[in-house]
Chain A
Amino acid sequence: MITISDLNKHFGRLEVLHSIHARFEAGQSYAVVGPNGSGKTTLIKSILGMVVPDRGTIEVEGKSIINNSAYRKRIGYMPQIGRYPEQMKIGQIISMIRDLRSDETQIDEDLIREFKLDQLKDKRMHTLSGGTRQKVSASLAFLFNPPILILDEPTAGLDPVAVEILKEKIHSEKSKNKLFLITSHIMSDLDELSSHLVYLEDGKMLFNDAIDTLKKETGEIKLGKAVATIMKRNLKATYE
């Protein structure tokens, strides 16, 4: 569904992504893991077209994303830090996005309902806590029932009840043959939610395979320990 080949990106002298090759398939859920500053968010933003790569191509559902905006209809994105027009109310933001995409027919308001955002719809964005912002971001990502979901640290800042609601939602959507890309530093969450592991370090993709394979390879039962093992070994790229 998403094919990335030879993706490179510099910010000034800093090399953020170095020759990334990857394929992400429908029905799978990929955990994107790596130390801080390893290029996870840049990779995600490149797929969304928010960061323009220096070299390389990205194809979503077989079409290049260059000079293309229609493919973003197929992606729901939950940013790491949701930044919204501060003076707007929650209700206004949601209705604005719905207005901009008024041609969409499948609307999924499950999360808005479960997070009880309709009770907060008159609150302005600048008054919201980090957790409530995350709830708004999550609701918007799932709003148009997209086949691809990219979640950048979805559980950071959410309270335990909200985390469970979101995980429940991810599980139920996964069964509908959707593609998930999830970054997180909470390994137990990823262990629960994902089938594959993508490991980035210093802008290089050092691992991309099924989590079961990784666990077998390292002899660990928990994802966290397995990842720690490959971090120590600093495994060479096994994926082409």
Chain B
Amino acid sequence: MSKIAKYVLYDIVRSRFILFYTVFLLVVTFSMYSLDTDPGKSTLSLLNIILLVVPLVSVIFTTTHFFNSYEFIELLLSQPVTRRTIFLAEFFSVASALALSFLIGVAFPMLLLAYSEATLFLILSGLLLTLVFVSLAFLASVITRDKAKGIGMALLFWIYFTLIYDGLILYIVYSFSDYPIEKITLLLSSLNPVDLARIVILLKLDLSALMGYTGAFYKSFFGSNLGIIYSFLFLLVWIGAPLLIALRKFARKDI
């Protein structure tokens, strides 16, 4: 697998997109910290950018990469290589390239300029979110046949988890505000990887007061070690589940 991953990585590096992404993240992070003297506030602004941009870039890059390497996959399939090996090599190369960009572009300047527990959590969440959306994008690419549909579906995942899902939760919370639905909203939030990441970081930044009674409830749950373990475990499920489904679909796909 490492041999195949080597060629995939070579191809990714040569396309220079990853380089632009890294530079973009570096510029954004540095400028956020130079705009405000309070690093806490900058971390918060950065959080919102990361929660939008990281998943978006992850899905777009992954789907375009997958469809652009279709010929490569086709060529390998006539060789004595298993589909599993090809698929995992593709996944690990794309995931590690994007994760590395994030580490250089965000983690490195953050640790340099504003080291705190909250930033550590932001970095960890950003990395996990990258993997979640790479995994979802692989699923979208495998179940569709052409590039346009693949990117369309991957973008749908992104819009759903960053915009639509929140709206739905808000609607539910608003309509049932007379009932004690904290536990249900907690469960619903767990079903969205972006929300999970957001909640953990907001709690670490000690901004839960902004979220009212629900915030207090969340704090009593997510603030504890158990809550943090719970949310990271859920994020891992969000990486593993789509990847496994995609792997199965790919094993039976006609090339």
**A-B contact list, 19 entries, CB within 8 Å:** A50-B254, A50-B255, A51-B254, A69-B80, A69-B81, A70-B80, A71-B80, A72-B81, A77-B78, A79-B78, A83-B71, A85-B11, A87-B14, A93-B75, A96-B7, A99-B3, A100-B76, A100-B79, A101-B80
For the complex of A and B, the 10 pairs showing the least CB-CB separation, nearest first, are A83-B71, A72-B80, A73-B80, A69-B82, A77-B78, A50-B255, A51-B254, A85-B72, A52-B252, A69-B80
Inter-chain contact A51/B72, CB cutoff 8 Å = no
A52 in contact with B71 given A72-B79, A72-B80, A100-B4 (CB within 8 Å): no
| Distance in angstroms between the alpha carbons of A207 and B252 in the assembled complex | 30
A63-115 interface (Cβ within 8 A of B): 69-73, 75, 77, 79, 83-87, 93, 96-97, 99-101
Contact status of A48 and B77, CB under 8 A, knowing A69-B82, A85-B11, A99-B3:
yes
From A52, A72, A73, A100, residue with most partner B Cβ within 10 Å: A100
Is there contact, CB below 8 Å, between B71 and A86? Answer: yes
* Separation of A86 and B72 alpha carbons in the complex (Å): 9
User: When the two chains form the complex, which single residue of A50, A70, A84, A99 contacts B77, counting CB atoms closer than 8 Å?
Assistant: A50
- Cβ contacts B221-255/A at 8 Å (1 or 0 each): 00000000000000000000000000000001111
* CA–CA, A99 and B7, complex, Å: 10
Q: Mark B151-182, 1 if CB is under 8 A from A, else 0.
A: 00000000000000000000000000000000
A73→B82 CA distance, assembly (Å) = 12
Among A72, A87, A96, contact of B78 (Cβ-Cβ < 8 Å): A72
Cβ contact within 8 Å between B79 and A97: yes
Residues of B within 8 A of A52 (CB): 252-254
Verify A101–B71 contact, CB threshold 8 A: no
**Residues 110-149 of B contacting A (Cβ, < 8 Å):** none
Decide yes or no whether A157 CB sits under 8 A from chain B.
no
* Interface positions of B (Cβ within 8 A of A): 3-4, 7, 11, 14, 69-72, 74-83, 252-255
**Closest chain A CB from B71 CB (angstroms):** 4
Q: How far is the CB of A183 from chain B (nearest CB, A)?
A: 15
Is A49 engaged at the interface, CB distance under 8 Å to the other chain?
yes
The complex places the Cα of A168 from the Cα of B253 at a distance, in Å, of: 37
Which residues of B sit under 8 angstroms from A50, Cβ to Cβ? Answer: 74, 77-78, 254-255
Q: Which residues of A contact B72 (CB under 8 A)?
A: 84-85
Nearest chain A CB to B146 CB, angstrom units: 15
Q: How far is the CA of A77 from the CA of B252 in the complex (A)?
A: 20
Which residues of the other chain, B, contact A75 by a CB distance below 8 angstroms? 78
* Complex Cα–Cα for A85 and B71 (A): 6
Given the complex of chains A and B, what is the CA–CA distance between A52 and B69 in angstroms? 20
| Chain A residue at smallest Cβ distance from B76 | A100
Whether the pair A87, B11 counts as a contact (CB closer than 8 A) is yes
Known pairs A72-B78, A84-B75, A101-B80; list 20 more (Cβ under 8 Å).
A45-B254, A45-B255, A48-B78, A49-B77, A51-B254, A69-B82, A70-B80, A72-B80, A73-B80, A77-B78, A79-B78, A83-B70, A85-B11, A85-B71, A85-B72, A85-B75, A87-B14, A96-B7, A100-B4, A101-B79
